[in-house]
Amino acid sequence: MSGDSQFRTALGRARGLGSAHHGVSAFIVERSTSVALVPLCLWAVYAAIKVAPLGYESAVLMLRQPVNAIMSLLLVGVSFLHMRVGLRVVIEDYVHTPAAKILALLANSALCWLGWAVATFSILWVAFVGGPVH
Amino acid sequence: MAEATSTGKGVRTRPTSPHLQVWRWHVTMAASILTRATGIALYGGAVIAAVWFAALMVGPDAYGPVMILLGSWIGKVVMFGLTFSVFYHLAAGLRHLVWDAGSGFNPHTANMTAVGAMAFALVATLVVWALAIQTGAVR
């Protein structure tokens, strides 16, 4: 997590080393991703309306436009990061059995990274290669 | 369990929050629960988006069925719910950012912004769906 080093003063870092030694970075990641998602999710609603009536070929052409590909990559990247830290809080609030909690946290991370990888690879594939895989 | 009962080791189980069974419902509580619920709904929405991107990569044989599913009545209900979730979670997130900046904690203000977030989400969802129907995105 980059939040810890980027947005804190040296004194703040020294003072902030509580029992967990890294608490504030999670706070900063939650906030910074939520700020980034304001324009990104508004764009997502706009793009969804634009792409919905299109057929396959036109949808591919739309995603091949650099602006749409870049916005899609940012949307997917920031969303899955925000989701990972967001659902982590929900799990920590409601799942108290250590084994179940660790499994739930791992499953959350795994699903977010998998979703991110699948979506990102698909966007890049469509943007650079175009049409169907086969 | 909210009751502090013995664990048999002489240690009482710690009380848990938020004690849904003893609290009167109020709008800020509903707003908080709705923020979490829409966040979880959007988690599902992101998975749908990932499937959509993958279908676009795989080809028309995958993209066609995905679009048919999203265009079915159950798909429309899900997309309508996700539209509301996007706008509500967006408004609730902005509300939280204002709180993080240190203001908006006055009970009257907090109640107003809670109602405002819900009203904004409802209106924005209806406007977006009206536009979507008008432009042929929803048929």
What's the CATH number where A37 sits? Answer: 1.20.1300.10
d(CA A105, CA B134): 43
Count up the domains in chain A and report the number: 1
Q: Give A130's pLDDT tier (boundaries 50, 70, 90).
A: confident
Residue A2 has pLDDT above 50, yes or no: no
Residue of B nearest to A41 (CA): B86
For the stretch A84-125, pLDDT in tens is 999 999 999 999 899 999 999 999 999 999 999 999 999 999
Q: Answer whether residue A54 is part of any domain.
A: yes
pLDDT of the residue at A101: 95
Residues A49, B128: C-beta atoms closer than 8 Å: yes
CB atoms within 10 A of CB A43: 16
pLDDT of the residue at A91: 95
**Which residue segment(s) compose the domain that A88 sits in?**
26-128
Q: Answer whether residue A99 is part of any domain.
A: yes
Question: A56-67 burial, b if ≥16 CB within 10 A, otherwise e?
Answer: beebbebbbeee
Partner A contacted by B42 (CB < 8 A)? yes
Residue B6 has pLDDT above 50, yes or no: no
Q: How far is A19 from chain B (nearest CA, A)?
A: 21
Q: Answer whether residue A1 is part of any domain.
A: no
Q: Answer whether residue A3 is part of any domain.
A: no
d(CA A65, CA A92): 41
- Which tokens belong to B88? 């509500």
Residues A134, B60: C-beta atoms closer than 8 Å: no
Of A31, A49, A59, the CB nearest to B137: A49
Q: Give the CATH number of domain B27-134; options: 1.10.10.10, 2.60.40.10, 1.20.1300.10, 2.20.28.90.
A: 1.20.1300.10
Q: How many CB pairs under 8 A join A and B?
A: 95
- Which tokens belong to A23? 């608490």
- Phi first, then psi, for residue B6 (nearest 5°) are -75, 140
Q: What is the DSSP letter of B136?
A: T
Residue B5 has pLDDT above 60, yes or no: no
* Percentage of residues in chain B having pLDDT higher than 70: 89
Q: In chain B, where does DSSP find H-type helix?
A: 27-58, 60-71, 73-100, 107-134
Q: How far is A74 from chain B (nearest CA, A)?
A: 13
Residues B136, A53: C-beta atoms closer than 8 Å: yes
pTM of the prediction? 0.86
Residue A20 has pLDDT above 70, yes or no: no
Residues A133, B59: C-beta atoms closer than 8 Å: yes
Residue A23 has pLDDT above 80, yes or no: no
Residues B83, A86: C-beta atoms closer than 8 Å: no
Q: In chain A, where does DSSP find H-type helix?
A: 3-6, 10-15, 23-51, 56-64, 66-94, 98-128
The closest of A35, A42, A43 to B87, measured between CA atoms, is A42
Q: Answer whether residue A4 is part of any domain.
A: no
Q: Answer whether residue A70 is part of any domain.
A: yes
Contact A49, A101 (CB under 8 A): no
Q: Answer whether residue A16 is part of any domain.
A: no
d(CA A116, CA A81): 9
d(CA B53, CA B116): 34
Q: Is the ipTM of this complex over 0.90?
A: no
Residues A86, B39: C-beta atoms closer than 8 Å: yes
